[in-house]
């Protein structure tokens, strides 16, 4: 029963995640969901959370700058502190049970009060009572990268291949969590509207990078972001439109002469020369140096 409920919880999180771009409201998680007539909560007053009627915790939560020294190590392993100093505390025993029985957990990381990004399923790799912590990672078999363990793959040849793959998957997960947080911060700064056309449906909005994240300077920070609707995001990435450092929209010349339907007319041609709508707070405004680098690329494309 507990196992099925846990799987239902993962599914429920996935549904919310698809709708919310990977961020979770605390209220949703404390209210939880109904499963076979029971209400299952996913977070609670304690960082290690065991819902009512459960034998083993369902989630572990980190609040950065909180009293616990938690987070990922450089090799992609999640270190999570025990509750308090007693390895025999009920919550810590719960983590030990999850470790011994290989029971998957959900990892929540607060990105601002009441708002989280998450990773699941997370498996405990090691229990360290002497350091008062556990080490965890994402499980390979449930994350769609089983092919990495094929003999042709370089990961396979490493002596600790399973651990390597696990660490690799954890790093990917961590990256995804950062992207979700980036999207949330950018959309919030732009009042959840496209900076170009003002469309305000979050499900149609992206946080675009000004300097792409494949570049060294493509950091996931708000001054390197723009809130764009899906069509303007694609157009920005394809150099169909550019944004100059004086915050003006530039539509590629050949599109201005084209004759087509209302999307081209209203969605592009009429926006040429418009000024984008930027956040009021200076620290959230798009960085002009970054815009300049990107605009130069647009002009030479
Ligand atoms: Zn738009």
User: pLDDT per residue over 151-174, tens digit each?
Assistant: 444 444 444 566 677 677 777 888
Which residues does the chain have with pLDDT short of 70? 65-70, 74-76, 139-163, 166
Ligand 1 ion: residues within 5 Å (CB): 194, 196-197, 199, 229, 232
Rounded distance between C-alpha atoms, residue 109 and residue 4, angstroms: 24
Rounded distance between C-alpha atoms, residue 232 and residue 275, angstroms: 14
Predicted confidence at residue 281, as pLDDT, reads: 96
Predicted confidence at residue 65, as pLDDT, reads: 65
Distance (angstroms) between ligand 1 centre and the Cα of 262 equals 14
Predicted confidence at residue 231, as pLDDT, reads: 98
Whether the predicted model's global pTM rises above the 0.95 cut:
no
Predicted confidence at residue 139, as pLDDT, reads: 65
What percent of the chain shows pLDDT beyond 70? Answer: 88
Distance (angstroms) between ligand 1 centre and the Cα of 215 equals 24
Predicted confidence at residue 275, as pLDDT, reads: 98
The answer to whether 234 and 226 have CB atoms below 8 angstroms apart is no
Distance (angstroms) between ligand 1 centre and the Cα of 271 equals 10
The answer to whether 242 and 292 have CB atoms below 8 angstroms apart is no
Q: ∠ CA(125), CA(128), CA(134), 5° rounding?
A: 50
Distance (angstroms) between ligand 1 centre and the Cα of 15 equals 25
Predicted confidence at residue 157, as pLDDT, reads: 40
Domains and CATH numbers, the chain: 2-141 (2.30.280), 185-299 (no CATH)
Distance (angstroms) between ligand 1 centre and the Cα of 195 equals 7
Distance (angstroms) between ligand 1 centre and the Cα of 238 equals 14
Q: ∠ CA(168), CA(64), CA(132), 5° rounding?
A: 75
Predicted confidence at residue 91, as pLDDT, reads: 96
Rounded distance between C-alpha atoms, residue 52 and residue 32, angstroms: 12
Distance (angstroms) between ligand 1 centre and the Cα of 217 equals 25
* Half-sphere exposure for 255 (CA within 13 Å, toward CB): 20
Q: Is 18 exposed, middle or buried (0-12, 13-18, 19+ CB in 10 A)?
A: exposed
């Amino acid at each position: 029963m507990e196992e099925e409920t846990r799987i239902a919880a993962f599914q429920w999180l996935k549904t919310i995640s698809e709708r919310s771009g990977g961020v979770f409201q605390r209220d949703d998680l404390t209210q939880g969901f109904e499963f076979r007539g029971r209400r299952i909560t996913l977070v609670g007053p304690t960082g290690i959370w065991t819902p009512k009627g459960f034998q083993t915790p369902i989630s572990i939560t980190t609040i950065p700058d909180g009293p616990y020294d938690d987070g990922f190590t450089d090799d992609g392993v999640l270190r999570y502190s025990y509750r308090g100093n007693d390895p025999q505390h009920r919550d810590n025993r719960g983590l030990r049970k999850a470790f011994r029985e290989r029971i998957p957990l959900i990892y929540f990381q607060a990105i601002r009060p009441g708002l989280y990004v998450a990773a699941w399923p997370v498996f405990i790799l090691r229990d360290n009572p002497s350091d008062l912590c556990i080490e965890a990672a994402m499980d390979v078999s449930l994350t769609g990268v089983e092919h990495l363990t094929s003999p042709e793959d370089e990961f396979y040849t490493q002596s600790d291949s399973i651990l390597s793959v696990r660490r690799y998957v954890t790093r990917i997960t961590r990256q995804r969590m950062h992207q979700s947080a980036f999207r949330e911060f950018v959309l919030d700064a732009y009042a959840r509207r496209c900076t170009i056309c003002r469309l305000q449906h979050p499900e149609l909005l992206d946080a675009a990078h000004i300097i792409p994240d494949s570049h060294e300077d493509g950091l996931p920070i708000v001054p390197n972001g723009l809130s764009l609707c899906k069509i303007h995001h694609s157009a920005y990435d394809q150099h169909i439109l550019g944004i100059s450092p004086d915050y003006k929209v530039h539509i590629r010349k050949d599109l201005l002469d084209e004759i087509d339907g209302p999307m081209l007319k209203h969605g592009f041609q009429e926006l040429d020369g418009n000024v984008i709508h930027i956040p009021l707070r200076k620290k959230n405004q798009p960085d002009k140096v970054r815009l300049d680098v990107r605009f130069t690329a647009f002009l030479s494309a």
